[in-house]
Every structure is written in structure tokens, then in C-alpha cells.
Chains A and B, each alone.
Chain A
């Protein structure tokens, strides 16, 4: 009996982690280029509502994924335009992207509140109730495997390819990169849109699988936890994934504590992820003593001094 519960916990952990990880990985790529995008929460929300609306109207789940990813990416290009091309404050622009994203998705999703999805994103195999670890691993939906693939490929791309080295160079020292002939603005623009696309995928995962209906503000702070995960992971894909699993585990565990005999107010249970995120950030900052691994140019607009 306890085994079934543990398997359920593991399954829920992976699902919660997938959602957080994809968004965090996207932000990692954006930040690697030296652009801070605090709009993750808004971008997830846009992807979530766009994917959900497409799924309801067309019942075509793959089109829904595509539309969700594209809309978030286009939405992120606002941030790219304002911060990369027009060199305005990244903190302000990102925050407003979150506010705008939440408002826009609520407006778009107004007529979809409470509607249930007919064609939910199902497991890739026929197993719907996994009973052992192997079954858990082979019974996730397609986005989970995409996430694993993205983790491996992002790590490889960052380390081994020219694009990855260029991205890192731009984020570390945009001025030198520019004098070496690298296209700083183009790299940053692409990285921001890629970050948006990833957040969109995370949003699609939210409404097509994790919680298959639409309500206002259903991202409930996950975008901000994703931002914290990038710091937690030290701007490294595998460590970020580890962090996502840890947070996913907590998100899955806390509501289950009651079944293990703990008496907890459900309202207090709800705030634990946020409390733990703050605690983890504090412990991490003390432990690393300032050397967080952040790209050196993050938040600094690139402007070519005319020579």
C-alpha cells in the first residue's frame, strides 16, 4: 500500500518538476546572454491560455502545443525589443511583462474559465496508473521527454557548440564580444525569444496536462520559483533540473503529508513552497558567498560606444 503511495508521490514529483524545469531552463538561456527577464510568470500564463484555447477549439493537441510555444515566444519579443533594441531597464520591462501577461491571459481566457479539456495530453504509453518506478518513467506525456531532451541538448549546446560559446561570451562581456565581431544584439534577441518559447512550453504543460482547465492566475507564482531555480542551479542545466526535482518533490509531498498522518492546515500547506524558496535562496547565498555563477553582464544594457 505504501508502495503505491510512494509511486504516486514520485509521479507527482516528476510532473511538478517538469513544469518548473522547462521555464527555468528557458530563463537560464536568456540570462546566459546577459538579459534578465522577470516576465517568466507572464510568459507561462500566455502559453498556458493560448495552448488551452487552441486545444478546446481545434481538439488538436499538437497544434495547441505549437501555438502555446509560439505565442509566448512572440510575447517575449516585446521584452527583447524594449531591452535589447531600445536598451531600456530590464527589471522594469520584465516586471511589466509579467503584469501584462497575467492581465492579457485573463482577458483572453475569460470565456474559457471552468471549461474542461476533452483531449488532455495523455501518457505516451498506455499505462495511466503506474505501479512501479519503470512504469512511472515510461508513462509521462510527450512534454516530459521533450524536457529531458532539452536538458541534455541545452547543456551540450552551451558547452560544445559555437552558438553556446557565443551566448556565454555575450553574457559575460558584451563589449569584448562586440569588438571580436560577435552580433551581441542578435544573440540576445534570439536568447530572449527562446526563453519565451520554453516558458510557453511550460505553460502548455500546465493547462494541457498538469491542471487541465483554465482559471485566472493559475500559474500561482511558479514563474518566480523558476527564476529562483536558475539561481539555485548556478546557471547550469543539470543542476537546475536537480533543483526542479527537489521543488517538485516538495510541491508533491506537502499535500500528501496528511495521508502520512501529519495534521496540517491546507492554507499553511499552500505557502510552504514560497517559504522554502526563500530559505533555499538564503542558504545558497550564504554557502556560495557571492560567487553565484551569474553571467557578469546580466541586467546591463549593451551600448556600443562610438569610436
Chain B
């Protein structure tokens, strides 16, 4: 009798993550097409319009890359925290608290040099993100409380605080219909590089290299991997696993907080609910799909940024912007399915 059996492959193709992503993306486009067809929309027209309006000109390309900045930075933060085998589902909240910290420092300080002022505000954003993950980090390393649930819940808490601030203490009386804080002054706007591309993109490149170095080349990165492995190995190696986990979480949260700062200083120019449109959640997909690799996060983050821009522009022809979210999530599901075939082998076995 013949039987199908599963074997774990001895070696996994180095590029398997990339191939899985690519095939996953094709599967996702296919799923997106079916949804469009059900809604009586032509997939080819819709996708070509998305493509044209997201990368077809300098302006649209820079809009796409601007959108990619928070996805990449938050994704890098998630990947750093994952070095110690922990999850950060709280990037959305960290982005908001980063922006809140920027506004708080902006209101309460007086700095004459614009460049120093911007620098201080960016640092404030980073610190805000770290502060946001502080409680989940403490409860994780001290008491062992599940960080997935605590980081997620902080999203709802920080969002509530944002709503409170923009309807209460920070409410801009000039903004009538849309609750928001007052605009920051033009002197602290982040400059643009080419077209509308924000200076934040350069920061993004810098932090991608930084994250790559931190994770893969630095002593701390090595220690993080040990700390995320078996507890005994960490003890033998003399590594304080809890301390590494704590620091990794604060750095990761800071990356997302910086994303919030850049979003405020280059896009919204004020604290509002529009600081993030689910960037923190999309960043989870971006990080997971690349196997937590910083350079991959940069590339996939850029692609997903374009996809989000494409998704928001096709609303004008009556297609829901959620199609972009669905394509992003389906890409990861598709990639997971393909990854199975890279890690396992199905063989026919003769049974006796």
C-alpha cells in the first residue's frame, strides 16, 4: 500500500522566504481579482489604475514612499523585538504616542534653531514609542505576562488618550468638524528631498541599515538571539536574557514612535486620529513576511506603501480601499502556504 508521508527537508533554500513572498503576492492578486469581479469591477482596469497612481509619476511615487516610512520603521521595530522571540502588536499605539510626545515637547519647549528643534522632536517621538511599550516590557520581564495581549491592548488605550487629547486639552478651536490638535509651526516641518518625498525617507534608510547592523552584526544582536533561544544557553553564556528582552522592546517601540514623529512632522503636521491608518498592523505583516529581515522589510514596506496609496486612490472609482489590506494579508497567508513546501517534503512511502 502506498502512503503519503511528510519529511522535514535537511536544507531549506536560502531564498525560500523571497520565493514564498513572490508566489504569495501572486496568490493575493488573484484573490483580490476575484473580490473585484464579484463587485462587478474589472481587475485589470483596477490594478493598472492602482499601479499608475502609486508609482506612475514622481509625485505618486513619492507619496507611496512616504506611506512606506511608517510601515518600514514600525516593521523594523517589530523585527528587533522578535530577535528575543517576543511579539510587538502595539506598533499602532507606539506610533500615536510618538506623535503625542512630539506635540507635547513642541508645546513645552522653545528652541530657536529649526534643525536642532526638529532633531529634538524626532528624539521625543522615539522616546514616546519606548514609553508606550514600557508597561508591556516591565510586565513581561518581571512577571512574565503575555506581551502579545498587553501590547495589543495598549493600542486601544493610546488611541483613547489621543481622542481625549484632541477633544479636550489640545483641541484646536479652529478645527471645527474634525477634532485635532493645533498645527505645529512650519519651522519644524520635515523638508522634502525630491518631489514630495519627505526627508523622513532618508531617516528610514539610515534606520534600516542600523537595524540590520544591530540584529545581524552587533554583539548585542548576538546576545538578543541567545536571549531569545533556550534559557539554559543564556545562563551558560552569562547573558541576562531579561535585560536583553527589556532593551530590545524599548528600542523596537522607539522605532515605531519615530514613525509617528515623522508622520506628524511631514504629513499631518498635527495630532489627529489620522496619524496612523493601521500602519502598526500592516507593519506586522511586513515584518512577518520577510522573516524579520531588515532589508526585506525595507523592500516589502515600500511595495506595501504603494499598495496602500493605490488602495486609497481607487476609492474614487467606487472600489473599497480595504482591497489593499486584503491583498496584504492574503500575501502573507499565501507565503505561509508556500513556505510549507520549502520546509517539508511529501513522499510516497511503501507500507508493509
Contact = CB atoms under 8 A, between A and B. Distances in A.
Contacts of B145: 278, 281-282, 285
Nearest to B329: A100
Given A88-B340, A99-B285, A267-B164, A285 B144 contact: yes
A100 B323 CA distance: 10
Given A86-B337, A103-B325, A106-B322, A271 B146 contact: no
A38 B148 CA distance: 9
Contacts of B326: 100, 103-104, 107
Interface in B132-157: 135, 139, 143-146, 148-150, 152-154, 156-157
Given A91-B148, A99-B325, A106-B320, A267 B160 contact: yes
Interface stretch (B2-10, B98-106, B118-126): B2-10
Contact of B284 (A89, A95, A102, A265): A95
A220 B163 CA distance: 15
Contact of B330 (A87, A100, A228, A268): A100
B274 interface: no
B161 A271 contact: yes
A82 interface: yes
B153 A303 contact: no
Interface in A239-285: 265, 267-268, 270-271, 274-275, 277-278, 281-282, 285
A142 B214 CA distance: 56
Contact of B146 (A221, A274, A281): A281
Nearest to A277: B153
Given A265-B168, A267-B163, A281-B149, A290 B144 contact: yes
Contacts of A104: 322, 326
B322 A103 contact: yes
A64 B285 CA distance: 32
Nearest to B167: A267
Given A86-B337, A86-B340, A103 B135 contact: no
A290 B89 CA distance: 22
A2 interface: no
A107 B322 contact: yes
Contact of B157 (A81, A92, A95, A271): A271
Contacts of A106: 320, 322
Interface string B81-103: 00000010100000000000000
A99 B281 contact: yes
A93 B285 CA distance: 10
Contacts of A285: 139, 143-145
Contact of B7 (A81, A88, A306): A306
Interface string A13-43: 0000000000000000000000000100000
A157 interface: no
B285 A96 contact: yes
Interface string A67-99: 000000000001001100011110111011001
Contacts of B146: 231, 281
A227 interface: yes
A129 to B, nearest CB: 32
A275 B164 CA distance: 15
A277 B145 CA distance: 12
B23 interface: no
A278 B344 contact: no
A286 interface: yes
A286 B161 CA distance: 27
Given A106-B320, A285-B143, A306-B5, A278 B333 contact: no
A224 interface: yes
A282 B146 CA distance: 9
A166 to B, nearest CB: 22
A281 to B, nearest CB: 5
A279 to B, nearest CB: 10
A165 interface: no
Contacts of B167: 267
B7 to A, nearest CB: 6
Nearest to B135: A278
Most chain A CB atoms below 10 A, which of B35, B320, B330, B336: B336
Given A267-B164, A281-B149, A285-B144, A220 B156 contact: yes
A281 B143 CA distance: 10
B164 A268 contact: yes
Interface string B34-71: 01000000000000000000000000000000000000
A282 B8 contact: no
B288 interface: yes
A96 B288 CA distance: 10
Interface of B: 5-8, 35, 87, 89, 135, 139, 143-146, 148-150, 152-154, 156-157, 160-161, 163-164, 167-168, 281-282, 284-285, 288, 320, 322-323, 325-326, 328-330, 332-333, 336-337, 339-340, 343-344
Given A99-B328, A107-B322, A228-B153, 9 more contacts: A82-B337, A99-B329, A100-B326, A102-B325, A221-B152, A277-B149, A278-B135, A278-B153, A303-B8
15 contacts: A87-B343, A88-B336, A93-B336, A104-B326, A107-B320, A220-B156, A224-B149, A231-B146, A271-B157, A274-B153, A277-B149, A278-B145, A282-B139, A285-B145, A306-B6
Leading 10 A-B pairs by shortest Cβ distance: A271-B160, A103-B325, A267-B164, A100-B329, A86-B340, A107-B322, A88-B336, A274-B156, A274-B153, A103-B322
